[in-house]
Amino acid sequence: MPLSLASSLAKFGDCDKTSAIMKIDQGNVTRSTELPQRTRALEMLKARGLLRLKDFAMEGIGPETLARLVRANEVNRPARGLYQLSDTSMSAKYMLAEASVLVPKGIVCLTSALQYHGLTLQMPSAVWMAIDRAAWRPRNDYPPIRFVRFSGHALTDDIERHRIEGVDVPITAPARTIIDCFRYRNKIGLDVAMEGLREGLRSRKATPDQLWNYAKATRSWSTVKPYLEAMTSGA
């Protein structure tokens, strides 16, 4: 046992050492069931940003503790069953994190993915998320979410994972996002898809080869081809 740890435990009796060790992990203070629920809840939110009610329940923290923190304005509840610290700064990216917590198997896509990758000036009024064709469609008031349904390889191919506000958020890769926008142009508008294509090529976040590969895989090359050729003909 390291000297610092041994000295820290010297003042405890044998029966108390086990609970004391629970509070010390490689020199860092960790959560312990000995700490008040309020303290543990705040520590969890500071470390992880956004949490669901069941995340707290797994740590033995009851809903009444969270309700008291909300009444004390120490914690916000932006959506049913979702909690964050009151002093958390809000941003477009933060909404992606919130949506991913509420829809764990969802994938950020279309205009929301374009905006995240810096390929559009559009600020979507809702988070666009893809879910499995057979999946239950979640219902929530905030953040507003618009759903599309993917199946097969579309749920796994060209998906990037980004850490946002402590949340692991799956987002379609730039080239794939652009092609998906052309595929769903009737939902988001052709102008948005064209802006994404133009910015993707200009910033080199998407190459013609990448765009061709995904367009061919999704049988949408005939739709994208004239726009891609027009934007690359003078290059």
Q: DSSP of 27-81, one letter per residue?
A: TEE---TTS-HHHHHHHHHHHHS-EEHHHHHHTT--HHHHHHHHHTTSEEEEETT
Residues across the chain:
235
Q: What is the pLDDT of residue 101?
A: 87
Partners of 164 in beta bridges: 167
99, 113 Cβ separation under 8 angstroms: no
pLDDT tens readout for residues 182-216? 999 999 999 999 999 999 999 999 999 999 999 99
Q: How confident is the model at residue 5, as a pLDDT?
A: 40
For position 89, what pLDDT does the model report? Answer: 56
DSSP 116-137: HTT--S---SSEEEEEETTS--
- pLDDT tens digits for range 156-174: 999 999 998 778 999 999 9
The pLDDT value recorded for residue 144 is: 87
Long-range pairs, 84-88, Cβ under 8 A, ≥24: 84/45, 84/49, 84/50, 84/51, 85/42, 85/45, 85/46, 88/49, 88/165
pLDDT for 142 equals: 76
Q: Tell me the two tokens of residue 96.
A: 């992606």
pTM for the structure as a whole = 0.65
Local confidence pLDDT in tens for the 235 residues of the chain: 444 444 444 444 444 433 443 343 434 444 444 578 888 888 888 777 678 787 888 888 888 888 888 888 888 776 677 787 776 655 678 889 889 988 989 999 999 999 999 999 888 888 999 999 988 888 777 778 999 999 888 899 999 999 987 789 999 999 999 999 999 999 999 999 999 999 999 999 999 999 999 999 999 999 999 999 999 885 5
Contact by Cβ (8 Å): 147, 112: no
Q: Which domains, and CATH codes, for the chain?
A: 15-85 (1.10.10), 92-232 (no CATH)
| CA–CA dist 144, 148 (Å, integer) | 14
Burial class of residue 228, CB neighbours in 10 A (0-12, 13-18, 19+): buried
